């Protein structure tokens, strides 16, 4: 019993991703949480295993929704020293493509510039893989994976903000 393709235009997806990026760059994390479905996941694979299953491979981040909420709680706490004061980030999102419509899968390229205290700027470059869903007419994020191009994190250091 196949479900119908999700009717959506690339422009609608782009608007949605830009809105998400704006919320994350502004650290409006509660509003960002509202973009996610209750079963959403957020993953950053290890740099040497960009295509892998977190149940069998060590990731940098492999959050389910409970962990995502805990991550946001942590990031809003001034005792999260790595992000106190919060990094300033600027996300450039391009090459947005709908790669599958049932389920709705979207890929996009990103360059995230991160400034933290008096450090040099750090550039996180890679691609996003989104699993999106329609929920009452609105798009929602059922999964997002940020896959870094760098061979290792090296001078990027940590991924303590939401990539």
Q: Residue numbers of the site for other proteins (CB under 8 A)?
A: 44-49, 52, 54-63, 66-67, 70-71, 73-74, 77, 79-83, 119, 152-160
Rounded distance between C-alpha atoms, residue 106 and residue 13, angstroms: 8
CB of 116 to other proteins, least distance (A): 9
Identify the DSSP state of 84: S
Count of Cβ atoms closer than 10 Å to residue 93 Cβ:
17
Of residues 33 and 52, the one with the C-beta less far from other proteins: 52
DSSP 3-state of 103: coil
CB of 19 to other proteins, least distance (A): 24
Residues 134, 106 contacting (CB under 8 angstroms):
no
CB of 50 to other proteins, least distance (A): 10
Q: Within 13 A of 71's CA, how many CA atoms are on the CB side?
A: 20
Of residues 52 and 125, the one with the C-beta less far from other proteins: 52
Of residues 6 and 156, the one with the C-beta less far from other proteins: 156
Of residues 26 and 84, the one with the C-beta less far from other proteins: 84
Residue from 137, 67, 139, 154 nearest 103 by CA: 139
CB of 4 to other proteins, least distance (A): 32
CB of 123 to other proteins, least distance (A): 14
Q: What sign results for the dihedral spanned by CA atoms 126, 81, 24, 142?
A: positive
Of residues 125 and 153, the one with the C-beta less far from other proteins: 153
Q: Are strands 138-148 and 122-135 parallel, antiparallel or unpaired?
A: antiparallel
């Amino acid at each position: 019993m196949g479900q119908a393709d999700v009717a959506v235009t690339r422009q609608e997806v782009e608007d949605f991703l830009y809105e998400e990026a704006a919320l994350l760059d502004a650290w409006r994390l509660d509003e960002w949480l509202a973009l996610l479905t209750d079963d959403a996941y957020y993953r950053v694979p290890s740099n040497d295993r960009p295509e892998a299953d977190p149940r069998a491979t060590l990731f940098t981040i492999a959050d389910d929704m409970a962990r995502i909420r805990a991550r946001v709680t942590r990031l809003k706490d001034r005792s999260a020293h790595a992000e106190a004061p919060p990094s300033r980030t600027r996300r450039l999102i391009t090459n947005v493509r709908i790669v599958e419509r049932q389920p709705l899968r979207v890929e996009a390229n990103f360059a995230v510039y991160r400034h933290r205290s008096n450090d040099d700027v750090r550039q996180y470059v890679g691609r996003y893989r989104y699993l999106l869903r329609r929920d009452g007419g609105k798009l929602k994020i059922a999964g997002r994976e940020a896959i870094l191009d760098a061979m290792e994190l090296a001078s990027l250091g940590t991924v303590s903000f939401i990539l």
